[in-house]
């Protein structure tokens, strides 16, 4: 297997709006990030993935971009960005940028032109279609609720938006769109950034003719089969690779929404010349109820383990995996996969870190995960900010498909806002995130869970993550060793073996608050890291994680 820096790296994701506010307006910003670069360097990560910082009206917190070559006013200026890049590089940190090019904001100048008239030179930058009998061109529903088509009076046509109506989809079949996007990417790469995380890159090519989608209980048909991994997606990515990516020593990770193993091999296969890696979502989207993602049901541990096994085996020798428990779209890892009660929060957060960081693939840490930050627990709809959550609440509660109580219960478990509460820096008002009023409430537990406490404590979740990262940098077996799932049928223990150059690494994780039996044979050799003091031989204690090398 070929070695590569991005295979050996650990990535830290920053959601700028919620990271650190430098000027008291309640919104995180670039100067705030700069002030925390030492914190990030000290953790030991190699790469920062910066969620969008581009000019945006913030319908979807920056994932609706109105100017790709300008910085969002609330976040600062291009000078601030340049300073960030230099200061990150000075500290040995690379920066990969979010690239959101499936859609723009409806306030982007391309769209402003496009909607002016059917003959406008930018008309075909977007996807326009005629209505049918006074209705939308087809029955597709937006992923953010409501129809996927928006009527535009000016030209009496509809435009497609998979996400909100302020996020019109770009028309990648138009060569001019591709050239404009590739030029923009080149401009950023020439600035010296180190790669891209590509937002919903799997959706850029649509099946022509817009056939109706299948309808479940809801009002709208499913557009997914006609938009995910569409007819030209791989052709366009190869073109992107040839015209842009291949010219730089960078890393790319595609957010390949809806990706299957077979498709992932195409996006990220070593011989494909498309992307280095993709995010797959099976382990975080595993349970879908009648209301889609709105449920509080959890995957069983055996299901979860089989997903990781399938992806490791499936990509083995073919491409490289990514590893994550959470991001800005997912609930907090410890609340979802561990136990966020005071008794077990630290233990289970460390256990989850161990389980993920000892696997094969490039691990991602979402801001605050290294502190064991927990779900927001918002009880009132007014506390939510995320349009996906608010739209879903409205659609299902007013449509009579869920009660208020039920929907709040689901939001508390799965809403994206759980990940978006401000980073908890210290035991100061608003957790030290801002001196003003934060755009979204700070989690009430910031007095107990914050960076100041944890960086000073050698036994904290933070200190443990730091050690996990250090080990990955030190031990090639963690990066390049083979992976074999052990105890596959256990609903309690996630155990696996890594092998490399004659050595074996045993990783044992108890996902329950009970003591469970664990074969002593796995605990021979030397303890590399563990979340308990003192060793137990034939059992794993509640949420225990232990790693042995022989």
Q: Does 163 bind ligand TEU (CB under 6 A)?
A: yes
In this structure, the number of other CB atoms found within 10 A of the CB of residue 133 comes to 4
| 80 contacts Ca ion (rule: CB under 5 A) | no
CB burial of residue 73 (10 Å; 0-12, 13-18, 19+): exposed
Q: Where are the alpha helices (DSSP H) in 213-296?
A: 224-227, 233-243, 261-268
What is the number of the residue whose Cβ is closest to ligand TEU? Answer: 63
143 is a contact residue toward ligand TEU (CB under 6 A): yes
Token pair 């992923």: residue: 143
Tokens (6 digits) for 89:
């590089």
Taking the least distance from each CB to ligand TEU, the nearer of 106 and 199 is 199
Whole-angstrom Cα distance, residue 415 to residue 456? 31
Pairwise CA distance, residues 99 & 270, whole Å: 22
Report if residue 25 touches Ca ion, rule: CB under 5 A. yes
- Report phi then psi at 3, rounded to 5: -85, 150
Q: Is the dihedral of CA 320, 305, 345, 539 positive or negative?
A: negative
**Which partner in Ca ion, ligand TEU, none is near 23 (CB below 5 to 8 A by kind)?**
Ca ion
Output 227 or 487, the one with its CB closest to ligand TEU. 227
Residue tagged active-site, from 80, 150, 255, 467: 255
Residue 199 contact among ligand TEU, Ca ion, none, beta carbon within 5 to 8 Å by kind: ligand TEU
Distance CA 423, CA 19 (A): 5
Neighbours of 36 (CB within 10 A): 18
100 is a contact residue toward ligand TEU (CB under 6 A): yes
User: Least CB distance from residue 347 to ligand TEU, whole Å?
Assistant: 28
Task: Give the per-residue contact string, 50-89, with ligand TEU (x = CB under 6 A; - = no).
Answer: ----------x--x--------------------------
- Catalytic: 199? yes
User: Binding to ligand TEU by residue 201, rule CB under 6 A?
Assistant: no
Catalytic residue among 21, 64, 199, 312: 199
Which segments within 301-380 are labelled E, that is strand?
322-323, 362-366
State which of residues 94, 161, 416, 472 lies at the interface with ligand TEU (CB under 6 A).
416
CB atoms within 10 A of CB 343: 12
**Whole-number minimum distance, CB 50 to Ca ion, in Å?**
15
Q: DSSP alpha helices (H): ranges in 30-130?
A: 30-35, 37-43, 78-90, 109-114
Single residue of 199, 274, 395, 417 touching ligand TEU by CB under 6 A: 199
Single out the residue of 34, 177, 185, 200 in contact with ligand TEU (rule: CB under 6 A): 200
Active site residue 417: no
484 binds Ca ion (CB under 5 A): no
Per CB under 5 A, 31 contacts Ca ion: no
Q: Can you name the residues that pair with 500 across neighbouring β-strands?
A: 503
Question: What would the 3-class secondary structure string for 164-179 be?
Answer: CCCCCEECCCCHHHHH
State the nearest-atom distance from the C-beta of 421 to ligand TEU, in Å: 15
Residues engaged in binding ligand TEU (CB under 6 A) = 60, 63, 100, 143, 163, 199-200, 255, 257, 293, 328-329, 388, 416
User: Interface with Ca ion by CB under 5 A: which residues?
Assistant: 21, 23, 25, 27, 29
Please give the positions annotated as active site: 199, 255
């Amino acid at each position: 297997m070929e070695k590569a820096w991005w295979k050996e790296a650990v990535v830290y994701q920053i959601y700028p709006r919620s990271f650190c506010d430098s000027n008291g307006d309640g919104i995180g910003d670039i100067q705030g990030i700069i002030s925390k670069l030492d914190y990030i360097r000290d953790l030991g990560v190699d790469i920062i993935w910066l969620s969008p910082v581009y000019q945006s009206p913030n319908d979807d917190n920056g994932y609706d971009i109105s100017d790709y070559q300008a910085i969002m006013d609330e976040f600062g200026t291009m000078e601030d960005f340049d300073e960030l890049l230099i200061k990150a590089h000075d500290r040995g940190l690379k920066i990969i940028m979010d690239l959101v090019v499936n859609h723009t904001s409806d306030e982007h100048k391309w769209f402003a032109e496009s909607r002016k008239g059917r003959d406008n030179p930018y008309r075909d930058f977007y996807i326009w279609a005629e209505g049918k009998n006074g209705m939308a061109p087809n029955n597709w529903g937006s992923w953010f609720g409501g129809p996927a088509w928006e009527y535009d009076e000016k030209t009496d046509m509809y435009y497609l938006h998979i996400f909100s109506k302020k996020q019109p989809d770009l028309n990648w079949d138009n060569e001019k769109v591709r050239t404009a996007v590739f030029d923009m990417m080149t401009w950023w790469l020439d600035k010296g950034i180190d790669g891209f995380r590509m937002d919903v890159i799997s959706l850029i090519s649509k099946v022509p003719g817009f056939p109706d989608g299948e309808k479940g209980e809801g009002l709208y048909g499913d557009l997914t089969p006609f938009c995910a991994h569409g007819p030209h997606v791989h052709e366009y990515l190869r073109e992107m690779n040839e015209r842009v990516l291949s010219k730089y020593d960078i890393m790319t990770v595609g957010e390949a929404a809806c990706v299957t193993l077979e498709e992932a091999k195409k996006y990220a296969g070593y011989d494909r010349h498309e992307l280095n890696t993709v995010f797959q979502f099976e382990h975080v989207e595993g349970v879908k109820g009648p209301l889609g993602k709105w449920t509080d049901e959890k995957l069983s541990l055996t299901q979860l383990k089989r997903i990781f096994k399938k992806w490791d085996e499936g990509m083995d020798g073919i491409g490289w995996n990514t590893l994550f428990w959470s991001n800005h779209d997912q609930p907090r890892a410890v609340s979802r996969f561990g136990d966020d009660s005071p008794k077990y929060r630290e233990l289970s957060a460390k256990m989850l870190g161990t389980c993920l960081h000892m696997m094969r693939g490039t691990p991602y840490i979402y801001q605050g995960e290294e502190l064991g930050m927990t779900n927001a627990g918002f009880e009132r709809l007014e506390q939510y900010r995320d349009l996906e959550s608010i739209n879903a609440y409205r659609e299902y509660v007013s449509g009579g498909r869920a009660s208020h109580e039920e929907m709040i219960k689901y939001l508390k478990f799965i809403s994206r806002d759980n990940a978006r509460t401000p980073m908890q820096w210290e035991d100061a008002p608003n957790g030290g995130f801002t001196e003003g009023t934060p755009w979204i409430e700070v989690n009430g537990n910031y007095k107990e869970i914050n960076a100041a406490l944890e960086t000073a404590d050698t036994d904290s979740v933070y200190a443990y993550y730091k050690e996990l990262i250090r080990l990955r940098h030190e031990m090639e077996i963690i990066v390049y060793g083979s992976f074999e799932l052990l105890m596959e049928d256990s609903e309690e223990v996630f155990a696996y073996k890594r092998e490399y150059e004659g050595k074996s690494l045993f990783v044992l994780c108890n996902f329950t608050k009970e003591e469970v039996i664990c074969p002593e044979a796995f605990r021979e050799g030397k303890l590399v890291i563990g979340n308990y003091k003192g060793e137990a031989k034939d059992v794993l204690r509640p949420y225990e994680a232990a790693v042995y090398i022989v």
